[in-house]
């Protein structure tokens, strides 16, 4: 069990979810990720990750209202849970700590 540790892609998905706030459903997350990272993001992969995040308790979901698009099928909206936020913060801390620990990498011009 990986516990609450985040993989790189999981972190990206979770961040996007947070950024999109109330509009975070699978296709929107996909699109947003594509736009931000510039790499092709497969729906299948995102789905699997969303499922895993929900399993780990980092995200939760609920079905929205039916609309005329998508063949009348409802969207599943995701929100970041408290645990999710904590995991994001922790990941960022680890990163910042590591950045600071690098001696030669302080930008010269500063």
Partner 1 sequence: MKKSHQPPRWARAFLAWYCKPELYEDLVGDLTEYFERNVHSRGLRYARFTFVIDTLKFFRPYTIRKPSFVQLLIHRIMLGSYVKTSARNIVRNKLFSTINVAGLAVSMCVGLILIGLLSDLLKYDRFHQNYDRTYRIISDRGDDNPYASTSMKAALDIRESVAGIEKVGILKRSFSGDFTKEETTVPLEGFWADSEALSVFTFPFIAGDPATALKDPFSIVLTETAAKKLFGNADPIGKVISYKSQSRRYPGPFELTVTGVMHDVPKFSHLRFEMLGSLSSLWKIHPDDKSLTHWDSMWDTYVYFVVPPGANLETLQYNLDEISKAENPHVTTGSIHLSFQPLGSIALGEDLNNSAGPVMGMSDVWMIGVLALIVLLSACFNYTNLSIARALNRAREVGVRKVTGATKGQVVGQFVVESIFIATLSVVVAFGLFVLVKPYFLGIDRHLSEMLTISFSFQLALSFILFAMITGIAAGIVPAFFFSRLNAATVLKNTHSVQPFRNVNLRKTLIVIQYTVSVIFIASTLIGLRQYKHLLSFDLGYKTKDIFNIRLQGNKADIVAKELAALPEVKGISKSTIVTSIGNYWGSKIKYTPDDSTWANYNGIDENYLAMHEHHLISGRNFSVQTDESAETEVIVNMDVLKRFKIADGDPFAAIDEILLVDGKEMKIIGVVENFHYGKVDSKSELVMFRHVKGTPNWLNVHIESSNWQETAVRLERAWRKVDNVHPFDGQFYDDQIRESYNEFSAMLTVIGTLSFLAICISSLGLFGMVVSSTESRLKEVSVRKVMGAGEWRLVYLMSKGFLTLLAIAVLIGLPLTYIFFDQVALPELVNPAPISVLDLFIGIAFLLAVALAMIGSQTLKVARANPAEVLRSE
Binding site for partner 1 (CB under 8 A): 26-27, 43-44, 47-48, 51, 63, 68-71, 73-76
Q: Are 49 and 13 in contact, with CB atoms under 8 Å apart?
A: yes
Instruction: Considering the complex, state which of residue 21 and residue 48 has its C-beta at the smaller distance from partner 1.
Output: 48
The answer to whether 59 and 17 are in contact (CB under 8 A) is: yes
Least distance CB 21 / partner 1 (angstroms): 19
Q: Taking the complex as a whole, how short is the minimal distance between the CB of residue 27 and partner 1, in angstroms?
A: 5
Residue 83's closest CA among 63, 62, 61, 56? 56
Cβ proximity to partner 1, 48 vs 94, nearer residue: 48
Q: Is 77 left (phi over 0), alpha (psi -120 to 50) or beta?
A: beta
Q: Which is nearer to partner 1, 12 or 26 (CB)?
A: 26
Q: Is 25 within 8 Å of 4 (Cβ atoms)?
A: no
CB of 95 to partner 1, least distance (A): 29
């Amino acid at each position: 069990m990986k516990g609450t540790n985040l993989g790189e892609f999981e972190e990206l998905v979770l961040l996007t979810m947070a950024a999109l706030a109330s509009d975070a459903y699978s296709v929107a997350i996909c699109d947003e990720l594509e736009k931000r990272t510039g790499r092709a993001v497969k729906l299948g992969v995102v789905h699997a990750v969303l499922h895993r995040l929900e399993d780990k308790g980092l995200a939760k979901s609920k079905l929205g209202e039916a609309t005329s698009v998508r063949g009348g099928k409802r969207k599943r909206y995701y929100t970041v849970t408290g645990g999710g936020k904590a995991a994001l913060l922790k990941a960022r801390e680890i990163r910042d700590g590591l950045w600071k620990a690098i001696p030669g990498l302080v930008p010269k011009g500063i």
